[in-house]
Homo-oligomer: A and B are copies of this chain.
Amino acid sequence: MGVRETIEVTGHLMDSGILSRVLDDIRDYGGDYVIEQFDVGHDAHDPSSARIVIEAEDDASLQRLLMRLQTRGVNPIGEREAALATADRDGVLPDGFYSTTNLETRVRLDGAWHPVENPEMDCGLVVDESDDGGLRVRTVPMADVSEGMRIVVGAAGIEVVVPSQAPTSDAFASVGTDGGSDRPQTVIVRQVADGMKRVRAEGKRLLWVAGPGIVHTGAVPAMVALVRGGYVDVLFAGNALATYDIESALYGTSLGVDVATHGLEHGHEHHVRALNTIRKAGSIGDAVATGVLTSGIMHALVTHEKRYVLVGSVRDDGPLPDVHTDVIEGQRAMRAEVAGVGYCLMMATQLHSVATANILPATVPIVCVDINPSTVTKLADRGTSQGRGIVTDVGLFLEQLALELVADYRRT
Residues of chain A touching chain B, judged by Cβ–Cβ distance below 8 Å, are 13-17, 19-20, 23-24, 26-28, 32-35, 38, 40-44, 50, 64, 67-68, 71, 89, 91-93, 97, 99, 101, 121-122, 141-143, 172, 175, 177-189, 191, 215-222, 238, 248, 252-261, 263, 265-269, 272-273, 275-276, 279-280, 311-319, 321, 325-331, 334, 351-352, 354-355, 357-358, 371-374, 376-378, 380-383, 388-393, 395-397, 399-400, 411-412
- CA A64 to CA B276, docked complex, whole Å: 15
Q: Is there an interface contact between A23 and B44, defined as CB atoms closer than 8 Å? A: yes
User: What's the nearest-Cβ distance from chain B to residue A235, in Å?
Assistant: 14
Q: Is there an interface contact between A44 and B32, defined as CB atoms closer than 8 Å? A: yes
Q: Is there an interface contact between A188 and B399, defined as CB atoms closer than 8 Å? A: no
Q: Is there an interface contact between A393 and B185, defined as CB atoms closer than 8 Å? A: yes
6 residue pairs, one from A and one from B, having the closest CB atoms: A183-B218, A185-B395, A396-B396, A184-B218, A99-B269, A15-B23
CB closest chain-B residue, reference A238: B314
User: What's the nearest-Cβ distance from chain B to residue A21, in Å?
Assistant: 8
Can you pick out 13 interface pairs between chain A and chain B where the beta carbons lie within 8 Å of each other?
A15-B23, A32-B44, A35-B43, A142-B279, A142-B317, A183-B220, A186-B395, A266-B354, A315-B358, A372-B374, A392-B395, A396-B397, A396-B399
A contacts with B: majority SS: mixed
Q: Is there an interface contact between B269 and A64, defined as CB atoms closer than 8 Å? A: yes
Given the known A-B contacts A182-B215, A186-B395, are A319 and B276 also in contact in the complex, defined by CB atoms under 8 Å? no
CB closest chain-B residue, reference A43: B34
- CA A383 to CA B314, docked complex, whole Å: 20
Q: Is there an interface contact between A181 and B24, defined as CB atoms closer than 8 Å? A: no
Given the known A-B contacts A34-B43, A41-B35, A331-B314, are A218 and B269 also in contact in the complex, defined by CB atoms under 8 Å? no
Q: Is there an interface contact between A311 and B314, defined as CB atoms closer than 8 Å? A: yes
Could you say which of B26, B35, B99, B327 contacts A327, with CB atoms under 8 Å apart?
A: B327
User: What's the nearest-Cβ distance from chain B to residue A67, in Å?
Assistant: 6
